[in-house]
Structure 1
Amino acid sequence: MPVLVLALAAVSLVIVRPGPIAGWWGSGDRSPAIIELGEPTPPPVLANVPDNAPMPTPAGIRAAIDALVTGSALGSEVNVSVLDALTGESLYVRGGDVPTVPASTTKLATAVTVLATRGPAYRITTRVVAGAEPGEVVIIGAGDPTLAVNGTGSYPGAGRLDRLAEQVKQALGGTVPTKVTVDSSLYSGPTYEPGWDADIPTGGYGAAMTALMTDGARLDPKKSTKGAARTPVPDLAAGKSFAKLLGLPAAQVKAVSRGTAPPANGSTAPPTAGTGPIEPGTELGRVQSPPIIRMVDFMLTDSDNVVAEALARQVALSRGQPASFVGGAAAMDVVLAELGLPADQSDLADGSGLSRSNRVTPELLSRLLVMVANGQHPELTGLVNGLPVAGWSGTLDDRFGVAASRMGAGVVRAKTGTLSGVHAFSGLLTTADGRLLAFTVLANKVPVGSDQAQPILDRLAATLAACGCR
């Protein structure tokens, strides 16, 4: 059987334009079978791969990439795994079972575990209920980082606070509430992971993780993932935005505070306006996130750390673990083992890869990609659509542009990872003979200040794509 790597969950659809799917389908939930792009249709990227394409030999791959792996640009600790995606056969290994800091390639593990536990179609629901005090409404954070204030949000298809406010107003018969309380108690533990570098809270690459936030905690929803300024109190900021939308006066907006929602009373709709007070715990409105598969796209394409941490907490909740850094990481390790991946080769601390405490092996990441690509777990295959395409999309849109790596443009889909002194690259590519390979390179002692590591990683992947390596 051919290896199908671009099937969406439950849909046999080959995407013929490389890059992410976010934005192509608008804000709706249904994907058209034919997408009018207004431009010539390029050839498929990693489409149906024949199973009879010649497999590279270990000797051929060694001859092609050994000098790149052992050169000085990647430093003294470079661990590599290259596998045949059809058979899982190891074609090149160098420290393949050595636990290594994976940086943002950790997000591959986050993607696989959340798709395996929640499923591609799952949505996160943000609810508002009547509070215990007269005139109080409580907005309950459920861990949706994509929630938008209005139609100018950061994430396509996100749930919106303005629509939630309209539902609440209608449920209250037009009566303006007197108090907004934020229930963000779903998350526990520190809001920043202890293993994060000291500049992450202020550098805009991560955010304080709270169960309620809007636009990934960005101060400006239109700022990109890279270095966007974030609010230090995302839940309260979201609560104040909601209070403004409800029409509360400035003093009451300023007084928005944290609290706990009363227990649900079993009612999903308030009594008709004018028939009496609304019981505490009565639901007044709800909005939902995009499907998990779309959130995985956001995470992988732009290496969105905030979305990654929220998805890791969804894994924790699915396994009865606390929705915290520790709970998410522990649940992800468990789910990776449940999927048949080597349990002793994963020791995670967060879901984004910002933590230097994370340890995984190149073999685990490559085997994870083989599992995604071989079609044996249909719920996972949609992950591939979110992987950046070399020279085209996401974190690879400005790479693979020089002569030494240009052959990889459009035929390499991979997740990048970068911390100071750490460079990682893990993904899928097709060789010149049409064979699909999974590869991972984790370099943990890259000379500080070096600007050669990324070009070497690009060249390595392009070399594999350009040769038959036999």
Structure 2
Amino acid sequence: MGKKTAWAATIVGGSLVALVAAALVVRPWEVPEPVATPTPTPEPPPAAVLTGADAGAPAPTADGVRDAIDELVEAAAFGGAISASVVDVGTGEQLYSYEGATPTIPASTTKLLTGAAVLAAHGPAHQLATVAVAGAEPGEVVLVGGGDPTLAIDADGFFPGAARLDQLAEQVTEALGDTQVSQVTVDSSLFTGPVHGPWDDDIPGSGFVGPITALMTDGGRIDPDPAQGQRSSLRWEEPDLAAGVAFAELLGVSADQVTIGSAPPAVAGDGDSGGQSDQGESTTDPTGTPAPPDPAAPGAVLGQVMSPPLLRLVETMLVTSDNALAEGLARQVALHQGEPASFAGAAAATTAVLAELGLPMAAAEIADGSGLSRDNQLPAELLTDLLAQAADPAAGEPLAGLFAGLPVAGWSGTLAGRYRAGEPDPTGVEAELRPAGPGAGAVRAKTGSLTGVNALAGLVMTADGRLLAFALLTEEVPVAPGPARQALDEVTTALLECGCR
């Protein structure tokens, strides 16, 4: 398998074969004849999904794609407003465009841009640090947020592999030795600007997202439960303060001794905490060896925990469509570009980074990193250009990392309940109860959904083995989402089933 298809995986499963044995009635005085155990007949393996593209597959044509999907794109379920684009990944050729250059509300397909920008800016291995430093007052510990929304309190966190406050507290206790912690200060000043984006009024209290701050645990969730997915609970009104209270409890400090403030400048020579200070500098012993800084000196680093690599954070953001994580990652792009770590700064930085990649950003308007804002306006052609570039081996890493997080139709993430056979449920709630349809396991895409908005952008293989990038953005959908989602699935399934030649 070449670089172009390195993202692809073959998912193979099996089933147990039942063995049928004759029923025997055995009397105590009788010895039963031995019964031969029948040799099980092996079942054929299930069809492979997400197989690699065939570099020698016949190229689809624009006429073939048009014949396959033109009528489906004009489905009544879309409400008459759709921006659609299909690109041959192998050649970069635009095969289909239906108002594809028209800016349209993209909903959560915006997260594809956020993921691409943060991977391009920082690289897939970059990690986010949460640091504890000594405060200006004796016994004061400052918890400094580094913008990691996945930070957990303990092993029961919402996000897999997250950095943990209990482990940070252990480091602090060890560093301070006999010094008793009496106060915890929370420094979340890394992020600036409003904590809520340019969203509909019902978004902040919906459970889908909360205030965006540089310090939070579990994406700001009050009672995180991974089993319930994205909308697992309400969010803290002050997620940075709530994280500080949790940290204080781990250190044996009462909640009333937790305040919002700022960390002192870092101890000189300590590159992890940034900045320098004349206070607490290292001294030199008679042998000329620098002595370590006094852990009680203001600004001295007492502990640090690191997030999973950005590649894993982007994967989690895409597969679950996590909004708080998306906004946190967008601010990391802003910090890299020297912009304020705010909604506006992140939008400007994301636009700049993607333009540097050669993507056509002139018609795009970005208002947030999650896609919750209706002020976002993206042409479908921008999304297919991004996906095609990410799949191009000449472009190389890091954009190929986007594909690890794209949900698989009928299989994972926000597409687990999609691509089902039978009549669609108008609400979409009972979708997973229907059997898998023909596109299940063969389409990989990012979903997008707001009231009246449904979107889908990703990759699909034609019947001949040719890889296509597609984007379908609709913004005048009737309130019930089921039919529109079914119609989106039908468009991409038609691409899957055709040679499109």
Tell me the TM-score normalised to structure 1 length.
0.89
Kindly provide the CA deviation profile for residues 46-98 of structure 1, in whole angstroms up to 9, marking residues without a partner as x.
Answer: 44322221122211211111111112110111110000011110111011111
* Map of 1:17 onto structure 2: 11
1:241 equivalent among 242, 246, 257: 246
Kindly provide the CA deviation profile for residues 80-118 of structure 1, in whole angstroms up to 9, marking residues without a partner as x.
Answer: 000001111011101111111100000000010010011
- The answer to whether structure 1 residue 77 and structure 2 residue 81 are counterparts is yes
Q: Percent identity?
A: 53
The answer to which of 148-157 and 447-456 deviates more is 447-456
Kindly provide the CA deviation profile for residues 31-50 of structure 1, in whole angstroms up to 9, marking residues without a partner as x.
Answer: xxxxxxxxx99766444322
- The answer to whether structure 1 residue 371 and structure 2 residue 389 are counterparts is yes
SS in 1 for 2:495: helix
- The answer to whether structure 1 residue 266 and structure 2 residue 268 are counterparts is yes
* Map of 2:152 onto structure 1: 148
Say if 1:3 and 1:50, in contact at 8 Å, map to a contact too: no
In 1, Cα distance between the equivalents of 2:326 and 2:256?
Answer: 30
In 1, Cα distance between the equivalents of 2:117 and 2:474?
Answer: 24
* Map of 2:118 onto structure 1: 114
In 2, Cα distance between the equivalents of 1:288 and 1:43?
Answer: 40
Would the alpha carbon gap of residues 170 and 427 (structure 1) be closer, same or farther in structure 2, given more than 3 Å must change? Answer: same
In 2, Cα distance between the equivalents of 1:280 and 1:347?
Answer: 44
In 2, Cα distance between the equivalents of 1:47 and 1:340?
Answer: 29
The letter for the 2-side match of 1:254 is D
* Map of 1:339 onto structure 2: 357
SS in 2 for 1:241: helix
Say if 2:334 and 2:350, in contact at 8 Å, map to a contact too: yes
- The answer to whether structure 1 residue 205 and structure 2 residue 208 are counterparts is yes
- The answer to whether structure 1 residue 221 and structure 2 residue 224 are counterparts is yes
2:343 equivalent among 325, 329, 337: 325
Work out the number of aligned pairs and report it.
Answer: 439
How far the C-alpha of 1:327 sits from its partner, in A, is 0.5
2:132 equivalent among 128, 133, 142: 128
Say if 1:2 and 1:50, in contact at 8 Å, map to a contact too: no
Kindly provide the CA deviation profile for residues 402-460 of structure 1, in whole angstroms up to 9, marking residues without a partner as x.
Answer: 15982211110000000011110000010110000000000111123353100000111
Would the alpha carbon gap of residues 52 and 131 (structure 1) be closer, same or farther in structure 2, given more than 3 Å must change? Answer: same
Would the alpha carbon gap of residues 235 and 182 (structure 1) be closer, same or farther in structure 2, given more than 3 Å must change? Answer: same
* Map of 2:457 onto structure 1: 426
* Map of 1:178 onto structure 2: 182
Would the alpha carbon gap of residues 41 and 126 (structure 1) be closer, same or farther in structure 2, given more than 3 Å must change? Answer: farther
The answer to which of 409-418 and 398-407 deviates more is 398-407
- The answer to whether structure 1 residue 51 and structure 2 residue 55 are counterparts is yes
Tell me the TM-score normalised to structure 2 length.
0.84
In 1, Cα distance between the equivalents of 2:116 and 2:45?
Answer: 30
* Map of 1:316 onto structure 2: 334
Computed over aligned residues only, the root mean square deviation of the Cα atoms, in angstroms, reads 2.3
Structure 2: gaps of 5 or more residues: 13-43, 273-279, 284-290, 424-435
Say if 1:176 and 1:247, in contact at 8 Å, map to a contact too: no
Say if 1:3 and 1:49, in contact at 8 Å, map to a contact too: no
In 2, Cα distance between the equivalents of 1:276 and 1:445?
Answer: 62
- The answer to whether structure 1 residue 457 and structure 2 residue 498 are counterparts is no
The letter for the 2-side match of 1:204 is G
SS in 2 for 1:381: helix
How far the C-alpha of 1:276 sits from its partner, in A, is 6.9
- The answer to whether structure 1 residue 296 and structure 2 residue 290 are counterparts is no
* Map of 1:167 onto structure 2: 171
Say if 2:335 and 2:341, in contact at 8 Å, map to a contact too: yes
SS in 1 for 2:141: strand
- The answer to whether structure 1 residue 93 and structure 2 residue 112 are counterparts is no
**RCO (CA 8 Å, sep 6+): is it higher in 1 or 2?**
1
SS in 1 for 2:204: helix
SS in 2 for 1:91: strand
Say if 2:442 and 2:460, in contact at 8 Å, map to a contact too: yes
How do residues 346-357 of structure 1 correspond to structure 2 at under 5 angstroms? Answer: 346-357=364-375
SS in 2 for 1:287: strand
Kindly provide the CA deviation profile for residues 265-296 of structure 1, in whole angstroms up to 9, marking residues without a partner as x.
Answer: 125499999x9772100000000000000000
The letter for the 1-side match of 2:266 is A
Structure 1: gaps of 5 or more residues: 8-13, 19-39
